[in-house]
Amino acid sequence: MTDTFERSCEHWSEAGRREMEDFYALASVDYRHLAEALDWVDWLRTRQARAGQRPLRVLDVACGSGKFPSALGRYAGVSPGSVGPIDYALLDPSAFSIAETRRVLSAPFVAGEEYETTLQALECPRDHFDVAWAIHALYALPADALEAGLERLVHAAAETGLIAHACRDAHYLRFYRAYLEAFRGGGTPYLAAEEIVAALERLGLSPQVHEIRYENRAPVEQQAQVQGYLQRCLFDDSLDLAQMLADPIIGAYLETCRHEREWRFAQRVLMIFFET
């Protein structure tokens, strides 16, 4: 039986595009809240000044489909007029994801090096990038690979790292734990932000944490999109919404997310900054 990491890789593919689009119909707000949580123009300009005359070098870990740089452009004013060119490297175990991100990138982000690999297997020179970030990217990383992965992230970043990740009590993690119990007879749960903070501290770093809270919302009439969103949360499109609601474990959880004529999936996310 395939476990969490293997199933996540299977769903980042052309065959999973419709499910992915339904997921982002609700989940794009994840990136909007991150983009609105900080003065990113000032943050990027500060790091650009330290880099000197060359473009700022950024590594996007598990780049997915490029939603974070797109949100920075749309909601945070990151544009060619506000910051200099950004040499944007793409890391993902899925060639599909790298191609998707490369397709949607727009200035000031300029697609650069590609790493079709997992974070823990990343090979690059020490301090090769000014900034390395992993945005809603590490959920399926096996717990026994967490420190190795973070060591590679620290190795790659000359100055700054950022990890944005949901907490134990956020929808993504609660829903997935219920799914493992109800339909998989156990398995590897998603990593929690609290585990990442603790692992960074064990590596001798002093992460700075900023918390954001919000909800992914949709009217109950948007059944197809809600179903696709929930399937993508699980990386399992074999269960439809009716089956989820009928299950005593997942169904009980989902009933707490339904408020009259609206679905509300509560999130608590940590923005974890660290200096290398």
DSSP result, 48-98: HHHHTTSPEEEEEET-TTSHHHHHHHHHS--STTTS--EEEEEE-S-HHHH
DSSP three-state, residue 39: coil
CB-CB contact of 162 with 207 (8 Å): no
Q: Residues 6 or more apart from 242 whose CB is under 8 A from it?
A: none
Tokens 């948007």 identify what position? 222
Burial of 139 (0-12, 13-18, 19+ CB in 10 A): buried
In-domain check, residue 175? no
* φ/ψ (deg, to 5) at 107: -55, 140
> Nearest 5 degrees, angle CA 268-CA 192-CA 99?
90
> By 3-state DSSP, what share of the chain in percent is helix, strand and coil, each rounded to 5?
45, 25, 30
Q: Residues 6 or more apart from 243 whose CB is under 8 A from it?
A: none
In-domain check, residue 257? no
In-domain check, residue 88? yes
155: left (phi over 0), alpha (psi -120 to 50) or beta: alpha
DSSP letter at 189? P
Q: Domains in the chain: how many in total?
A: 1
Residue type, 160: T
- Spans of the chain below 50 pLDDT: none
CB-CB contact of 150 with 157 (8 Å): no
Count Cβ atoms below 10 Å from residue 4 Cβ, excluding itself.
21
**What is the per-residue pLDDT for 3?**
73
In-domain check, residue 246? no
Domain that holds residue 66: 4-167+186-217+266-275
**What is the per-residue pLDDT for 26?**
87
In-domain check, residue 176? no
Find the CATH number of the domain harbouring 149. 3.40.50.150
Instruction: Encode pLDDT of 172-186 as tens digits.
Output: 999 999 999 999 998
**What is the per-residue pLDDT for 15?**
62
Burial of 230 (0-12, 13-18, 19+ CB in 10 A): buried
In-domain check, residue 118? yes
CB-CB contact of 173 with 193 (8 Å): no
In-domain check, residue 248? no
Cα–Cα separations (whole angstroms), residue 99 to 25, 27, 124 = 20, 20, 20
In-domain check, residue 244? no
